[in-house]
């Protein structure tokens, strides 16, 4: 999600944790994501609604748990615990200069959120637990419904290996169980997020996870949110959490899906937003705009050859040139992506010309740039923009080579008569965006 900055790393004695922080000056919201899905997937279209709602609540801080995504791998024989996860979050808060923030935990991330709130009460201003649980393993006196079924199915992976045909969609997302494209995306993201041995180790480790003895220690105002018909984690789990955490509120919403980015996302996130911000506003400003993404090609190699100090100087120069060029073409820079920009324009021709001007001015400074543009409806949330059009523009840029300005098929018809030429480069697949997209190269 491009409302987040570049990846940074927090170092602990036993490894590095990758994290990203949002832009702007809103309240900080630390997110414990679920399962084995990396923060990189937040850029993908299937979770765009989830990302948009989270951005409305504050400046998100997300990170890849140990063994997932860009964070260091784990020893499958000694997988980390929810407490380890919470300690990693403390290190990230320290590095980000955040003393206290709201915390949201999804699914198994909720257990780590409870550890953080109970053991470091001064760091947590508010706590939200979404579709989560207090105990994984079944006991005679504790409701386990969906989780027990999950454990039984996952046992087959331990016996038959990662290729075992275990299907959980009737439990985690029954309303979209027949969506073949979504299932393919979900499985692909899971495979890139964690290796089979890591996923298996982390799942089996959950058998020993139990935060019941910590719940009375939680001091932060707490909201427990759960879909009432959740087939994976029974709503009784949420009721138990809300009854055991002092002063906690419970919001049971309609729905049968466990995955929070499918089903009625607004119904699930409305009480969270009201709890964290004091209001519900599910109608962000929508407008038609042209989105431009740029980045510098081979910036990592240049950084290595120039060194940190000289590279920072070049980036500062890049940012000043970009600000000038975008303003000259009646655009607005939404955010810096570290070695590039996200900008928006009312007129697509201005966006294309700004991309060309920026490319040429940077080339005179021995900086090679590429660009991608798309025109479509966007949502404006404070100083940020989101929506499918933003993701499409980012994915178009990913197909560009050094010096290239690529656009989606939506742009050329809108600039007829603007004295711009385009070369059709054919259909491509854009990561995380369904279907094939025709791209065009701006000849300018």
- Model confidence band, residue 311 (pLDDT cutoffs 50, 70, 90): low
Please give the mean pLDDT across all residues of the chain.
86
pLDDT of residue 62: 95
Domains in the chain: boundaries? 8-277, 285-443
Angle, CA of 223, 227 and 233, to the nearest 5°: 95
Structure tokens at 304: 């290595």
Is residue 304 predicted with pLDDT exceeding 70? no
| Chain-centroid distance, C-alpha 189 | 12
Higher pLDDT, 431 or 341: 341
| CATH match for 285-443 among 3.40.50.2300, 3.30.70.1230, 3.40.109.10, 3.40.50.300 | 3.30.70.1230
Give the residue-averaged pLDDT of 423-431.
Answer: 89
Closest CA to 27 of 50, 61, 73, 1: 61
- 363-421 residue pLDDT tens: 988 888 999 999 999 888 766 788 889 889 999 999 999 999 999 999 999 999 899 99
CA neighbours within 13 Å on the CB side: how many for 318? 23
How far is Cα of residue 116 from the mean position of the Cα atoms in its chain?
21
The span from the CA of 68 to the CA of 38, in Å, is 6
Exposed/middle/buried for 192, CB within 10 Å: 0-12, 13-18, 19+? Answer: middle
- pLDDT computed for residue 412 by the predictor: 95
Res 162: pLDDT? 47
pLDDT at residue 433, as a whole number: 80
User: Which CATH entry fits the domain spanning 8-277: 3.30.70.20, 3.40.50.1820, 3.40.50.2300, 1.20.140.10?
Assistant: 3.40.50.1820
Q: pLDDT tens across 25-55, in order?
A: 678 999 999 878 888 888 777 887 888 788 8
Contact predicate 71/15, CB 8 Å = yes
CB atoms within 10 A of CB 366: 8
Confidence label for 145 from pLDDT (cuts 50, 70 and 90): very low
Q: Determine the pLDDT at residue 278.
A: 87
227-268 pLDDT, tens digit per residue, is 999 988 889 899 999 999 999 999 999 999 999 999 999 899
Alpha carbon 324 to chain centroid distance? Answer: 30
State mean pLDDT over 206-231. Answer: 93
Q: What confidence category does residue 128 fall into, taking pLDDT thresholds of 50, 70 and 90?
A: very high
Q: Write down the pTM of the prediction.
A: 0.68
Asked if the model's pLDDT at residue 194 lies above 80, the reply is: yes
Dump pLDDT digits (tens) for 337-355: 778 899 999 999 999 999 9
- Please report which confidence band the pLDDT of residue 226 belongs to, taking 50, 70 and 90 as the band edges: very high
The model's confidence at residue 203, banded by pLDDT at 50, 70 and 90, is: confident
Helix, strand and coil percent figures for the chain, each rounded to 5 = 40, 25, 35
What is residue 152's predicted lDDT score, i.e. its pLDDT? 64
DSSP bridge partners of 443: 421
Question: How would you class 257 by CB atoms within 10 Å of its CB: exposed for 0-12, middle for 13-18, buried for 19 or more?
Answer: buried
Q: What 3-state DSSP class applies to 53?
A: helix
Contact between 110 and 30 (Cβ < 8 Å): no
Rounded distance, CA 265 to CA 139, Å?
32
If pLDDT is split at 50, 70 and 90, which confidence band does 143 have? Answer: low
Tokens 């004091």 map to which residue? 278
Angstrom distance (rounded) from CA 24 to CA 54: 14
CB 361 within 8 A of CB 308: no
More confident residue, 19 or 13: 19
Q: Where are the beta strands (DSSP E) in 191-257?
A: 222-227, 249-253
pLDDT score for 97: 94
Choose the weakest-confidence range: 28-42, 173-187, 191-205, 302-316.
302-316
How many residues are listed for the chain in this entry?
444
């Amino acid at each position: 999600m491009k409302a987040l900055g570049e990846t940074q790393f927090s170092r602990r004695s036993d490894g590095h944790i990758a994290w990203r922080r949002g832009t702007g000056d809103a309240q900080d919201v630390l997110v414990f994501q679920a399962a084995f899905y990396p923060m990189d997937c937040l850029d993908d279209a299937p979770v765009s609604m989830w990302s948009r709602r989270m951005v409305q609540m504050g400046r998100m801080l997300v990170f890849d748990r140990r063994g997932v995504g860009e964070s260091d791998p784990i020893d499958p024989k000694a997988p980390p615990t929810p407490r380890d996860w919470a300690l990693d979050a403390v290190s990230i808060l320290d590095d980000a200069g955040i003393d206290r923030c709201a915390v949201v935990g999804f699914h198994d991330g909720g257990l780590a959120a409870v550890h953080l709130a109970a053991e470091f009460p001064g760091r947590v201003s508010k706590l939200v637990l979404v579709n989560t649980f207090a105990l994984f393993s079944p006991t005679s006196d504790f409701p386990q419904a969906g989780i027990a079924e999950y454990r039984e199915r996952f046992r087959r992976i331990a016996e038959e290996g990662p290729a075992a045909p275990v299907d959980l969609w009737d439990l985690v997302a029954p309303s979209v169980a027949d969506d073949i494209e979504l299932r393919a995306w979900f499985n692909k993201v899971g495979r890139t997020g964690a290796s089979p041995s890591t996923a298996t180790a982390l799942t089996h480790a959950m058998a020993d996870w139990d935060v019941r003895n910590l719940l009375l220690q939680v001091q932060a105002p707490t909201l427990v949110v759960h879909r009432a018909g959740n087939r994976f984690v029974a709503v009784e789990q949420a009721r138990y959490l809300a009854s055991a955490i002092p002063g906690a509120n419970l919001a049971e919403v309609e729905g049968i899906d466990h995955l929070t980015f499918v089903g009625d996302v607004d119904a699930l996130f409305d009480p969270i937003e009201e709890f964290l911000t004091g209001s519900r506003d599910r109608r962000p400003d929508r407008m038609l705009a042209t989105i431009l993404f740029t980045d510098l090609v081979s910036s990592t190699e240049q950084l290595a050859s120039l060194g940190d100090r000289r590279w920072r100087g070049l980036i500062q120069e890049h940012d000043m040139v970009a600000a000038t060029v975008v303003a000259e073409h009646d655009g607005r820079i939404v955010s810096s992506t570290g070695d590039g920009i996200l900008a928006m324009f009312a007129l697509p021709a201005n966006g294309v010309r700004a991309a060309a001007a920026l490319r040429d001015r940077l080339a005179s400074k021995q900086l090679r740039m590429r660009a991608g543009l798309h025109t479509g409806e966007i949502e404006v949330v404070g100083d940020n923009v989101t929506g499918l059009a933003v993701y499409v523009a980012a994915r178009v840029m990913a197909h560009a080579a050094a010096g290239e300005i690529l656009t989606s098929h939506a742009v050329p018809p809108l600039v007829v008569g603007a004295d711009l030429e385009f070369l059709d480069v054919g259909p491509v697949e854009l990561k995380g965006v369904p279907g094939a997209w025709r791209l065009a190269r701006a000849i300018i």
